[in-house]
Amino acid sequence: QDYFESYISIASTVPSVLCLIGNFLLVNKVPASVRILSSLFVMLAVFVVITVLVKVDTSAWTTRFFALTIGCVAVVSSASTVFSSSIFGLSSCFPMRNLQALISGQAMGGTISAVASVIDLAAATDVTDSALAYFLTADIFIIVCIMVYLLLPRLEYSRYYLSSQESPSLVSVLPDSSVEDEAEPGGTANSSFLTGRAGIPPLCPILQKTALLGFCLFYVFFISIIIFPSLSSNIESVSKSLGSPWSTKYFTPLTCFLLYNFADWCGRQVTAWIQVPGPKSKLLLALVLLRSIFLPLFILSNYQPRAHIRTVVFNRDIYPVVFTALLGLSNGYLGTLVMVYGPKIVPKELAEAAGVVMTFYLVLGLALGSACAVFVVHLV
């Protein structure tokens, strides 16, 4: 139970790496609509199964149910990776304001989920009914996504910008309003690159150009996933023994999940107005490496239970609150900044492929970080 979050992190990130590679290889051969709809239907099928199992008594087969849960997480994460990368590729045909809206919506997803969790914690009386409501909501939203996507080609606005996409295009992940050029239908630079491609883009020039930024992106998410949620969710209030609702019921949902997701969203939003340091600045690498300090800060907070490191240095509730806020802000700001820089430092015709490579660095950081999180939790 103490390592449940770590196992979930591994199951959700490791398969994503493999799916990202597969999506890169198939992106010029399988239309975006096929990849998007198939991934949505896979997610819907898994969530329907999970919804049905909510009311099933699994106390007699907990080990098998745990394995089934991990398997469902792996399948959903794989489908989600294909969906998100494909939808970003499709969005590259639209103006930057649409891409910025997509980024904001993605970043706010975690915040909305955390808010819903707190509201549910305050209002719900039965945990089973609460879980059923969560999964039914997920089922409904996936169905709505399928319906909205099917309506997309019928909109005149969409047809105007999608008219330049005559064949499957490479995905571009986390585009931002800072990107210099907006997609224009029929534009020579974009349409010549988006159409008529059947092979795989050259990796060597992209890897050479994005090596430093790729490492920065990898390390940002490597540190973040080690700490959140495996470490941060097990930090308890120092006044838990008093039995107040704040110290027992609301401390972790508010100071861990809600605060981190909100800070991450704020960090991403800031990149729309401020983009410093630059892609070649040594300060960027220094700031990324400086985030390593968060690891001992969280370990020396009131993490419970502790098996090996008995010392608690930061024995006030304000410390993990400040640490979590800074962790989320730096993750959102530096992660988005590096992701935006990646496609901008390569030739324009390789920008989308660079976005795919940067995404691989991101997912690789999440995968290795989630694996290391298990070791760190055992160490503490």
Q: Would you state the pLDDT for residue 99?
A: 61
Q: What angle do CA 339, 344, 348 make, to 5 degrees?
A: 130
Q: Would you state the pLDDT for residue 177?
A: 39
Place of tokens 């110290």: 247
CA 211/CA 87 separation, integer angstroms: 25
With residue 230 as reference, give the H or E element that holds it: none
DSSP assignment of 315-347 equals -STHHHHHHHHHHHHHHHHHHHHHHHHHHHSS-
Q: Would you state the pLDDT for residue 151?
A: 92
Instruction: Name the residue type at position 212.
Output: L
Q: Supply φ then ψ for residue 303, to 5 degrees.
A: -75, 130
CA 236/CA 307 separation, integer angstroms: 15
Q: Would you state the pLDDT for residue 48?
A: 95
Contact 367, 13 (CB under 8 A): yes
Q: Would you state the pLDDT for residue 170?
A: 41
Q: Would you state the pLDDT for residue 315?
A: 93
**18: its two tokens:** 């493999």
Q: Would you state the pLDDT for residue 136?
A: 92
Rg of the chain taking only CA atoms, in angstroms: 21
Listed as ranges, residues in the chain with pLDDT below 70 are 1-3, 5, 27-28, 89, 91-101, 103, 164-201, 348, 351-353
Domains and CATH numbers, the chain: 4-379 (1.20.1250)
